[in-house]
A and B are shown apart, each in its own frame.
Chain A
């Protein structure tokens, strides 16, 4: 059994109730931080832990905090990013649903460290049932003196509010999230200035993912050094992984970073192997829809033949040529019956739909990608389309205000890179792919010899 931090008490019934959460040691971190530590000591503790942002980018949380500007007379804001919209990712929802106080606990410690007196949890609008749970938990925390004025008699004030989104993937990008809280369309801002200097209402702001903020309470209670002992190298601690697709046991798992991909895939403790007997693994998207897809050979082992591990470093080993990213931990598994072209078209439709429309390379490019992929998947593709797809991704990537353009490009570029033969098959045999489940009875491997030379 791997070490559990976030899911440690998940077998305790009614953990989402305040009294139960208290009985397993809840809010002790707040007590410790507010009564015996300076804000800077809290920041140092988080720095020592080596915690990296769990939303996808993997930027060190403590370092992000140290950038916050502290001008006189301006409030500072802490924003919790619970917009969770990256396809394949549902871990934050799981945590908030079963253990909302854990997030509030960590947020109080974090807000104290940053000197914020107001914090917002930006929850995607579709998670209405989660919003109810969070609002109840906030009321409970406030009624018990953990929020409000003069918390624990220390003179520190903090209010936490839930802010509801309304169905826009782009609002997970931190500056779009800020725009959205200001009541506007979620158009990302040009950086600099960074939110740490000028964020919400032009004030210094820190935006962190749900999981990152929640574990701060554990780090305060147990120490940053203790946290950094868990995991492997610069990938310290544990991570929630959302596992979905063609596996026997989809769900949310907490892993100690450093676990091998193979064990995660096949062990009964985690994914439990493939969904259908007799259907082999074809590909994995390891960190949410935006990260490059890898074929079986490259997800289980790196190009140099080493075991691929669930760490930031190992998953990105080989760069994009042969590697991918840990991202948000959205682990999507494809078996032989899955069609990579169809999947890529599906992702492109998503990105086209979700593009905010500000930058032309992204607004137009995502539309082209969807259109070209649609015709390849529906039997009217041309040979030149395959290279055209790669060309379009090159025109989008790096040419947009926010990383959305990259996120829309990578799935397509990597699909062509590793599964070019499937695209060629679609162009060559338009009649064979008429049925949308075209690989269900005749998996692509049966044709491989013809295509791989």
Chain B
């Protein structure tokens, strides 16, 4: 288990962090917490305690203030996830266009249950609430991207292409 001393954000990340902090008035650096957490999650994959404590140190706030935020907002991973996190929208509009069957199809294909990660560490599949793509349903989010108008074929294609990339 790494400790806060082991965590050292890269210069590139630190310069982005300072850029975010500068968007808010002096003394209001805590405002930058959400974008900063996105940034470090992109780097570390999830919100480990040392990472959160490091963010607290940078923002000059108590660690509990970071934990409070991380546990409130659903986009932060509280445990490690696969390289590709497939987040299926499971709210009504997507369900009307077959989201439930499609997610089952994906889980079966990967041989995992909802919330689990494949043994090779590549894919995690979860169900999330409305992602604001109702007109292009069914859809899922993977990282920064939205994959819309999904079909079993496009799911197959996506999974194969990602498997090939890492081979």
Contacts and interface: CB of A to CB of B under 8 A. Distances in A.
Contacts of B95: 342-343, 346
A90 B137 CA distance: 11
Given A88-B93, A165-B73, A346-B95, A180 B135 contact: no
Nearest to A77: B25
Nearest to A357: B72
B74 A346 contact: no
Nearest to A165: B34
A393 B140 CA distance: 31
Interface stretch (A40-48, A238-246, A400-408): A238-246
Contact of A166 (B37, B65, B90, B92): B37
A128 interface: yes
Given A183-B69, A289-B92, A125 B132 contact: no
A128 B72 contact: no
Nearest to A411: B92
Interface in B66-88: 68-69, 72-76
Contact of A350 (B34, B97, B130, B133): B130
B163 interface: no
A181 interface: yes
Contacts of A250: 134-137
Most-contacted residue by chain B among A87, A169, A186, A338 (CB, 10 A)? A87
A128 B144 CA distance: 6
Given A87-B134, A168-B74, A182 B28 contact: yes
Interface string B103-129: 000000000000000000000000011
B91 interface: yes
B93 A163 contact: no
- Say which size band chain B's interface belongs to: 35 or more
A432 interface: no
Interface in A90-117: 90, 93
Contacts of B145: 129
Contacts of A87: 91-93, 129-130, 134
A103 B99 CA distance: 32
Interface string A401-439: 000000000000000000000000000000000001000
Contacts of B35: 163-164
A447 interface: no
A275 B33 CA distance: 44
Contact of B25 (A201, A245, A353, A356): A201
A244 B90 CA distance: 14
A19 to B, nearest CB: 26
A164 B97 CA distance: 29
A21 interface: no
A442 B38 CA distance: 47
Interface string B32-72: 11110110000000000000000000010100010011001
B132 A181 contact: no
Interface residues of A, number: 55
Contacts of B31: 163, 181-183
A85 B130 contact: yes
Contacts of A89: 132, 134
Interface in A170-206: 180-186, 201
A123 to B, nearest CB: 10
Contact of A167 (B75, B90, B100): B75
B55 to A, nearest CB: 11
A332 B28 contact: no
A263 interface: no
B100 A164 contact: no
A266 interface: no
Contacts of A182: 28, 30-31
Contacts of B136: 90, 250
A354 B90 CA distance: 14
Most-contacted residue by chain A among B74, B76, B128 (CB, 10 A)? B74
The 8 closest A-B pairs by CB, nearest first: A166-B73, A183-B30, A244-B134, A167-B75, A167-B74, A250-B135, A87-B130, A185-B72
Given A90-B133, A120-B23, A346-B92, 6 more contacts: A75-B25, A87-B92, A126-B75, A343-B95, A343-B96, A350-B92
